[in-house]
Amino acid sequence: MRLLLVLVKPLPLTVIKKVINKLIEGLLMLSSTITTLTVLLIVLFLFKEGVSVFKESPLEGENVIVLSNQNKVSHLTSIDIKKIFDQETTNWKAVGGANDSILLFTFNDLSNYFSEEELGPEFEFLPHKMDSLIEANPGMIAVFSKKYLDKNHKSKVATIDNISPKTFLLGKEWFPTANPAVQLGVLPLILGTLYVSIVAILIALPIGLATAIYIAEVAHPKIRAIYKPVIELLAGIPSVVYGFFGLIVIVPLIQKIFDLPVGESGLAGAIVLAIMALPTIITVTEDALRNTPRAMKEASLALGATQWQTIYKVVIPYSASGISAAAILGIGRAIGETMAVLMVTGNAAVMPHSLLEPLRTIPATIAAELGEAPANGIHYKALFGLGCILFIITMVINIWVETISKRRVNR
Amino acid sequence: MQSDFKKILSQSIAFWTFRILSLAVMGILFSILGFILVKGIGVVSWDFITKMPEDGMTKGGIYPAIIGTLCLIAGSMLFAFPIGVMSGIYIFEYTKDSWYRRFVQLMTANLAGVPSIVFGLFGMALFVNKLGFGDSILAGSLTLGLLALPVVIRTTEEALKAIENSYREASYALGATKLQTIKRVTLPMALPNIITGLILSIGRVSGETAPILFTVAAYFLPKLPTSVFDQVMALPYHLYVISTSGTNIAESRGMAYGTAVILILIVLILNIIANIIRRFLTKKYKTN
């Protein structure tokens, strides 16, 4: 009754206003938490999917590896399996067994051993026949689906390690769809990413530094007024356009100059990334240079130093932390860049040996392969694992830059 | 005398090096723009921007990709703009220099540094798979919106920071509440700067490829979307696919140049608009 009365009685205007004010303030607070929530959600989703790759067996589908009980070997790693089935390893000695040659057996070889009648019309005798065959051949290694494994099998099922963080991070082979065992070593991708990014910064830093000094200290204000918007424009051009330019101009150029079979290479990626990192480096460095107190510069000039001496004895040392922040930020941008790199580096997932060979970066791998990886499969999870690595690298770089700029403020 | 000469010589060598290198940077930019514009401007015509692609994307226009990109811009900004501006206001006007403010600012900085492909992964895991939107404008817009969010927040904060405190204090002195002050004084003053940020983030969103790869973009879809759950073509993705994959790379070159020209023109025009607003703004404050 009372409640109704309250509702019926018109509320004073000030109360309504207060409620609306509180509502709006609540809304404002809610939207500011969304950003935080997004970062946490990204971490949650990325790492949930990414870490689950370590619960997976490298064997494809429901497959099992079956060996004879007379074979001393009972444990294989995924790289062993790949080498065996690629026939790089042909003797059991290489994987810790007896000196006996390895005999491969897959479903394709079925007709070499059994006739159709022997297997029965519905393949009902297949599990038992295979079991006896494997048990009789100590050198044989067989891979087939779990459902064809005889219920009272005499042969033994080899144990295979799940993907471990160590093999994931330090493995040198990336064959995420290999059969029968996938190879998920991301070292070539990590090295490829760092390689291209660092070379890109080595190209971009001197040029960017020179341009920033020119704009901040040397150039006439009118020239500065032209440079600034142009550099902003350079920053605004989509990466896919840079990639396109790299593909049609830089790649053929590199192919011609170095006389290569293909122009898509680490060098092409580094050049495109260097061009893309320039605006970041120039803007951040210029800001740092302009933060030098006027009094310091004037003191130097008053002592008879030339403008150039002032720049390299006063301005550059004073803004050194800002310049290093620019370099790190540039590397961070380069590491995360996807499309341009994807278009010009040739995407060969091999350990990088030279800048003139195709190589592959982490973002390019994700972009190129996620479309083909079935959802929640091992490949999909491995790509999320790559996303985690990328996220961690860029997070560390961000925090690093943050601490550098804090140090500058504190001084 | 000798040392003076040396000093002057080293200065002029250094400055000329800087001058030449910075001219080289300009040269790079203008050669990229010039090359693509010269090769592509002949392709761009009224038909090119209003017709469907034909013959395995070797002929016809890029109309559906333009419409798709416009849909994505609209969708992402509908999401990012209100939320970004509101959280910028909250962070700057309501939180004191507290742990909460520092935490949110750190998170915003981190979100700004996350590579775009990670947004793509996240968008795919959350919007496409978990929430079941599928490859759709909705999923793509939300992913792009998250990417634009830190940009909008930061520009809003910067815009509010640029307003002198005396304006706020004058408003309080007249008895206005905090919310009234924001509504009547600070927000209108900050608006041109916020709009500039909005325009620049539209430029960013329109060119991003990696976040839409797995959340919305279609390779070839010669029809217009009818709902937010439809897939669309988009300009940057279109440029990527016709220049790298497919069977008619050589024949689609013309279309690729044309698409690149359109993308550059979008960024160019948005930049010019942003600069005009900025210039107009500084003039307005000067006359006051």
Is B206 within a domain? Answer: yes
Residue B39 in domain: no
Q: In DSSP terms, which residues pair with A184 in a beta bridge?
A: A174
Q: Measured between CB atoms, which of B17, B94, B244 is closest to A343?
A: B244
Task: Decide if A35 and B149 are in contact by the 8 Å CB cutoff.
Answer: yes
Task: Give the chain B residue nearest A271 (alpha carbons).
Answer: B28
Provide the residue type at B91 as one letter: I
Q: How many domains does chain B have?
A: 1
Q: Which one of A33, A237, A392 makes the best mutation probe of the B interface by having the most chain B beta carbons within 10 Å?
A: A237
State residue B277 phi and psi, 5-degree precision: -60, -45
Q: What does the DSSP 8-state code read for residue A9?
A: S
In this prediction, residue A93 carries a pLDDT of 81
pLDDT value, residue B56? 66
For B88-114, what is each residue's pLDDT tens digit? 999 888 887 788 888 888 888 888 889
pLDDT at position B237 is 92
Give the pair of three-digit tokens for residue A186.
Answer: 């991301």
> What pLDDT, on a 0 to 100 scale, did the predictor assign at position A190?
92
Name the residue of chain A whose CA is nearest to B208's CA: A238
Q: Is the Cβ of B130 closer than 8 Å to some Cβ of chain A? A: yes
- Paired residues of B161 in beta bridges: none
Strands ordered across the beta sheet of A63-67: A103-105, A140-145, A63-67, A156-157
Strand, helix or coil at A377? coil
pLDDT value, residue B244: 84
Tokens (6 digits) for A246: 């790299």
pLDDT of residue A197: 93
Over chain B, what is the mean pLDDT? Answer: 87
Q: What per-residue confidence (pLDDT) applies to A1? A: 53
What SS3 class is residue A60?
coil
Per-position DSSP letters for A106-155, written without gaps between them:
-GGGHHHH--HHHH-TTSTTHHHHHHHHHHH-TTEEEEEEGGGS-TT--S
Using a CB-CB distance cutoff of 8 angstroms, which residues of chain B are in contact with residue A210? 17-18, 21-22
- B111 → closest Cβ in A39, A311, A402: A39
Q: What is the pLDDT of residues B25-76, one digit of tens each?
A: 999 889 999 999 998 888 888 888 888 887 666 677 888 899 999 999 999 9
Asked if residue B27 belongs to a domain, the reply is no
Structural domain contains residue B277: no
- Is pLDDT of B5 > 80? yes
**Does residue B170 sit at the A interface (CB-CB below 8 Å)?**
no
Expressed as residue numbers, the domain containing B126 is: 65-235
A337–B contact, CB cutoff 8 A: yes
Contacts of B243 (CB under 8 A, 6+ apart): A243, A244, A247, A248, A343, B249, B252, B253, B256
Tell me which residues of chain A, numbers 205 to 224, contact chain B at a CB-CB cutoff of 8 Å: 206-208, 210-211, 213-215, 218-219
Distances (CA, A) of B193 to A29, A234, B143, B189, B199: 22, 21, 24, 8, 10
| pLDDT over 70, % of chain B | 95
Domains of chain A: 63-183 (3.40.190.10), 187-410 (1.10.3720.10)
Question: What single DSSP character describes residue A94?
Answer: G
Of the listed ranges A300-304, A346-350, B173-177, B225-229, the least confidently predicted one is A346-350
Distance separating alpha carbons of residues A158 and A76, to the nearest angstrom = 7
Query: Residue B247: which pLDDT band, with cuts at 50, 70 and 90?
Result: low
Supply the DSSP string of chain B, one letter for each residue.
Answer: -HHHHHHHHHHHHHHHHHHHHHHHHHHHHHHHHHHHHHHHTTT--HHHHHS-EETTTTEE--HHHHHHHHHHHHHHHHHHHHHHHHHHHIIIII--SSHHHHHHHHHHHHHHHS-HHHHHHHHIIIIIIIS---SSHHHHHHHHHHHHHHHHHHHHHHHHHTS-HHHHHHHHHTT--HHHHIIIIIHHHHHHHHHHHHHHHHHHHHH--GGGTTTTB-S---S---STTS-B--HHHHHHHHHHSSS-TTTTHHHHHHHHHHHHHHHHHHHHHHHHHHHHHHHHHHH-
Contact (Cβ atoms closer than 8 angstroms) between residue B196 and residue B52:
no
Pick from A27, A308, A391: CB nearest B11: A308
B247, part of any domain: no
| B249 part of a folded domain | no
pLDDT tens digits for chain A (411 residues)? 555 555 556 667 788 888 888 888 888 888 888 888 888 888 898 899 888 888 888 887 678 888 888 787 778 888 888 888 888 788 888 777 778 888 888 777 777 777 777 777 777 777 887 788 888 777 888 888 777 777 777 788 888 888 888 888 888 888 888 777 888 889 999 999 999 999 999 999 999 999 999 999 888 889 888 888 888 888 889 999 999 999 999 999 999 998 888 888 899 999 999 999 999 999 999 989 998 889 999 999 999 888 889 998 999 999 988 899 899 989 988 999 999 999 998 877 778 788 888 888 999 999 999 888 888 888 999 999 999 999 999 889 988 888 887 776 555
Buried b (16+ CB within 10 A) or exposed e, A381-407: bbbbbbbbbbbebbbebbebbbebbee
Please state, in angstroms and rounded to a whole number, the distance separating the CA atoms of residues A8 and B262: 60
- pTM across the whole model: 0.87
Cβ neighbours of residue A266 closer than 8 Å, sequence gap 6 or more:
A192, A195, A196, A199, A345, A352, A354, A355, A356, A357, A358, A359
Distance in angstroms (rounded) separating the CA atoms of residues A70 and A138? 5
Residue B283 lies in a domain: no
Q: For residue A390, what are the β-bridge partners? A: none
pLDDT of residue A185: 87
What is residue B288's predicted lDDT score, i.e. its pLDDT? 46
CATH of the domain at B161: 1.10.3720.10
Q: HEC profile for A176-245?
A: CCCCCECEECCHHHHHHHHHHHHHHHHHHHHHHHHHHHHHHHHCCHHHHHHHHHHHHHHHHCCHHHHHHH
* Chain B positions in Cβ-Cβ contact with residue A42 (cut-off 8 Å): 111, 114, 118-119, 122
pLDDT of the residue at A286: 92
Work out the percent of chain B whose per-residue pLDDT is above 90: 36
A121: which residues sit within 8 A by CB, 6+ positions away?
none
Q: What is the ipTM of this complex?
A: 0.90
Residue B48 lies in a domain: no
Q: How far apart are CA A113 and CA A106, in angstroms?
A: 11
Check CB contact of A193 with chain B, cutoff 8 Å. Answer: no
| pLDDT value of position B287 | 46
Q: What are phi and psi of B54, to 5 degrees?
A: -135, 165
Q: What is the pLDDT of residue B145?
A: 94
The DSSP output letter for A10 is P
List the single residue in B110, B120, B236 with the smallest CB-CB distance to A240. Answer: B236
- Burial of A324: CB neighbours in 10 Å, binned 0-12, 13-18, 19+: middle
- pLDDT tens-digit readout, B81-90: 999 999 999 9
Question: Does A392 contact chain B (CB < 8 Å)?
Answer: no
Identify the CA nearest to A225 among candidates B270, B282, B288: B282
Q: What is the average pLDDT across B249-274?
A: 87
What's the pLDDT score for residue A6? 56
The mean pLDDT value for B257-268 works out to 91
Residues A151-176 as b/e (b if ≥16 CB within 10 A, e otherwise) read: eebebbebebeebeeebbeebebbeb
pLDDT at A91: 82
B244: its two tokens: 């790298």
